[in-house]
């Protein structure tokens, strides 16, 4: 039983590009990505982190390629990755060429950092020859000198002008397999830049608030910035940038999409903040259930409400529900229907069993 959204988000129709076997744009699902923080030349550690990121539900993973050792390590890394690998390139165009030749399916470049157009042309040639896409990564912190001089400071018009300038470079070389980002650490600047760019082109947009900060403030800034744009139908792929474990970036990214009914993956828990009415320890119960049910990828809704004020209403709209009752007798709901009373000490194991059974049932019937 899925909660029916109050309204559906009407996404802007953008061009479709290919990043390996992942299609981005058009009506295709909004992809979630993260970036490794290991030394890429340490292939073993990087592969492990990529696998951890993928296990959390990433569709794409980006790795930094600052030197020749890193780009050559891609040959081994891409062999063991479950998802397409994006190579993050700055300054040296040869690293981009090497990355394309060693298995990267997308090159993230800031053309303003690459410089000479002839070098960009060499990158495009390598991308075409290796079926590799590109991301034009415009950043408020690294705008071209002439654009920064013209506008005096980073502003939406400056970021969009940089993006359009670089789009033209690619189009003039008959290269169209690319996406674009116009990122800033400022939420308002990012939102305004993406809004303007979305009106001026129909290439897929990569959303993010760059350098958003540590886990809590970074997650909040990202949810506001990315969520606002997604609500307006803008965006085709997202990355939450946190000063934390990359796995958490994917978790937050997926939660943003799930909250907007743009992605259904895993158990979606609806729970109360708890109060003096709670019939069982709600907060601790939810923490345990999040951990114990993290292996389930099937979309399932679960309500954990500590009392009968809102519990029955929430349980009527979820696949599995618990409503706190008197004297430790809590009511279990399945598909909105009351089924049986459960004692506090049996609650967690009972919920786990019912959610797993529901997941198996959905998988069997799908």
CATH of domain 17-259: 3.20.20.20
Annotated domain spans of the chain: 17-259, 267-365
Phi, psi at residue 11, to the nearest 5°? -80, 145
Pick left, alpha or beta for residue 215 (phi over 0 → left; psi -120 to 50 → alpha; otherwise beta).
Answer: alpha
Give, in degrees to the nearest 5, the angle at Cα 125 between 120 and 126.
100
pTM: 0.89
Q: So what CATH class is 267-365? A: alpha beta
User: What gap in Å lies between CA 238 and CA 32, rounded to an integer?
Assistant: 5
Q: Specify the pLDDT at position 142.
A: 85
239 CB contacts (<8 Å, ≥6 apart)?
32, 33, 34, 35, 62, 206, 207, 208, 249, 253
Question: What number is the average pLDDT over the span 206-211?
Answer: 96
Over residues 259-278, the pLDDT tens digits come to 998 988 889 999 999 888 89
Instruction: Give the residue carrying structure tokens 């009752």.
Output: 325
Angle between helical axes of 246-259 and 215-231 (0-180°, round to 10) = 40
Compute the mean pLDDT over every residue in the chain, rounded to the nearest whole number. Answer: 93
User: What gap in Å lies between CA 292 and CA 349, rounded to an integer?
Assistant: 10
Q: How confident is residue 337, by pLDDT bands cut at 50, 70 and 90?
A: very high
Over residues 50-81, the pLDDT tens digits come to 999 999 999 999 999 999 999 999 999 999 99
Residue 49: closest CA among 75, 82, 24 = 82
Over residues 180-207, the pLDDT tens digits come to 999 999 999 999 999 999 999 999 999 9
Share of the chain above pLDDT 90, in %: 85
* DSSP notation for 155-187: -HHHHHHHHHHHHHHHHHTT---EEEEEE-SSH
Give, in degrees to the nearest 5, the angle at Cα 273 between 272 and 277.
80
- The 8-class DSSP code of residue 266 comes to S
Are 89 and 67 within 8 A, CB to CB?
no
Question: Above 50 in pLDDT, residue 3?
Answer: no
């Amino acid at each position: 039983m899925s909660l029916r959204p109050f309204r559906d988000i009407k996404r802007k129709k953008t061009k479709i590009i290919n990043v390996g076997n992942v299609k981005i744009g058009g009506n295709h699902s909004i992809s979630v990505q993260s970036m490794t923080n290991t030394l890429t030349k340490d292939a073993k550690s990087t592969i492990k982190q990529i696998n951890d990121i993928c296990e959390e539900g990433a569709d794409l993973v980006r790795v930094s390629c600052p030197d020749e050792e890193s780009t050559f390590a891609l040959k081994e890394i891409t062999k063991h990755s479950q998802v397409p690998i994006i190579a993050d390139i700055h300054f040296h165009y040869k690293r981009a060429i090497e990355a394309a030749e060693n298995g990267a399916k997308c090159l993230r470049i800031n053309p303003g950092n690459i410089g000479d157009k002839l070098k960009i042309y060499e990158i495009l040639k390598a991308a075409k020859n290796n079926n590799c896409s590109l991301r034009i990564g415009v950043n408020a912190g690294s705008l071209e000198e002439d654009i920064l001089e013209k506008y005096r400071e980073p502003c939406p018009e400056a970021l969009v002008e940089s993006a359009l300038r670089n789009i033209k470079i690619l189009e003039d070389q008959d290269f169209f397999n690319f996406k674009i980002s116009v990122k800033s650490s400022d939420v308002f600047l990012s939102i305004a830049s993406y809004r303007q760019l979305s009106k001026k082109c129909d290439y897929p947009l990569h959303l993010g608030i760059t350098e958003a900060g540590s886990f809590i403030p970074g997650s909040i800034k990202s949810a506001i910035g990315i969520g606002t744009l997604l609500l307006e139908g803008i965006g085709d792929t997202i990355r939450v940038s946190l000063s934390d474990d990359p796995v958490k970036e994917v978790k937050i990214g997926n939660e943003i999409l799930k909250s907007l009914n743009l992605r259904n993956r895993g158990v979606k828990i609806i729970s109360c903040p708890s109060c003096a009415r709670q019939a069982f320890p709600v907060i601790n119960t939810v923490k345990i259930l999040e951990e114990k049910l993290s292996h389930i990828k099937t979309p399932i809704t679960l309500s954990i409400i500590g009392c009968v004020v809102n519990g029955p209403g929430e349980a009527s709209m979820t696949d599995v529900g618990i409503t706190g009752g008197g004297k430790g007798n809590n009511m279990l709901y399945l598909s909105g229907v009351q089924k049986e009373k459960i004692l506090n000490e049996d609650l967690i194991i009972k919920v786990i069993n019912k959610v797993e059974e529901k997941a198996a049932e959905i998988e069997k019937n799908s």
